[in-house]
Structure 1
Amino acid sequence: MFRLVTLLRRRPGMSAEDFRAYYESRHRVMGERVLSGQALRYVRRYVRPLQEGRAPGFDVVMEIDFADRAAHDRCMAMLATPDIAREIAEDEERLFDRAATLSFTVEECESVMPPPADRAGD
């Protein structure tokens, strides 16, 4: 599997509530349409800081999973075609601070954890 992760910040002046509502009702739908048949998984993880005043500088972690690097590359080439690229860019202008967007790939290493101890007797 090949995972693309993108950190996205909402455009200035947009509330977190309006950002999420627009993303889930409009941009997500477009993403599902253009990624259909290309990606295995498309996930948005909205950030809620645990410490007051310590915002991470982005509002959502977006993840797209592909079967492999070649599938990712084919998808990126398709997304770069003029009509699709223009459609995505126009919608992103309504939603994101595009200058703050950061994308990267990740390699996942997962620990197998034992089940929690039964604490019913404590």
Structure 2
Amino acid sequence: MTFKVVLLAKKRADISFEKFRDYYSNHHIQMMNGLLKHGAAIHRRNFVIHADPENPGEYDVISEVFYEDLSVAQATMQELSDPELHRKRVEDEANFLIPESVRVFMVETDTTVFRPIEGFV
């Protein structure tokens, strides 16, 4: 059974949505994956489409981090508690998001498929 962590975050006000998305997808998660021995099997980012861009909501991204099982997730969390790795993560996150906005949830999933979508993970 796979295990999933959901993260919510808000981008920094002084950067564009495009820069936020690019930095998160092409730098931050790549950097973190390179630092971790275990890490995520799949990292999916769901970027929020705000109805009113002038008044964005509380979060700009809802990330889903999938692990093969609970033991891999726990090993990753243990790695993330290392002071040096924690420092690197926090320093890098300050480049594109508001650190205080980050919320993390461990979740169990229940899926109902009405029509399969090819390529959907």
> 1:3 is matched with which residue?
4
Work out the CA distance in 2 between the residues paired with 1:71 and 1:91.
23
Q: Distance in 2 between matches of 1:14 and 1:67?
A: 34
Q: Deviations over 1:89-109 (max 9, x none)?
A: 110111111111111022211
Q: Structure 1 residues 97, 111: closer, same or farther in 2, change over 3 A?
A: same
Moved more, 106-115 or 13-22: 106-115
For the structure 1 residues 95 and 114, does the alpha-carbon distance in structure 2 shift closer, same or farther, using more than 3 Å as the test?
A: closer
Q: How does 1:18-57 map to 2 (within 5 A)?
A: 18-35=19-36, 37-49=38-50, 51-52=51-52, 55-57=56-58
Aligned partner of 2:52: which letter? Answer: E
Structure 2 unpaired stretches of 5+: 117-121
Matched residue, 1:74: 75
Compare CA radii of gyration and give the structure with the larger one.
1
Q: Per-residue deviation at 1:63?
A: 1.3
What's the counterpart of residue 109 of structure 1?
110
How far, CA to CA, are the matches of 1:97 and 1:38 in structure 2?
23
Counterpart Cα distance in 1 of 2:92 and 2:75: 22
The one-letter amino acid paired with 1:67 is: E
Q: Which runs of 4+ in 1 moved over 4 A?
A: none
Sequence identity (%):
28
CA contact (8 A) 1:34 1:79 kept: no
Unpaired segments of 5 or more residues in structure 1? 116-122
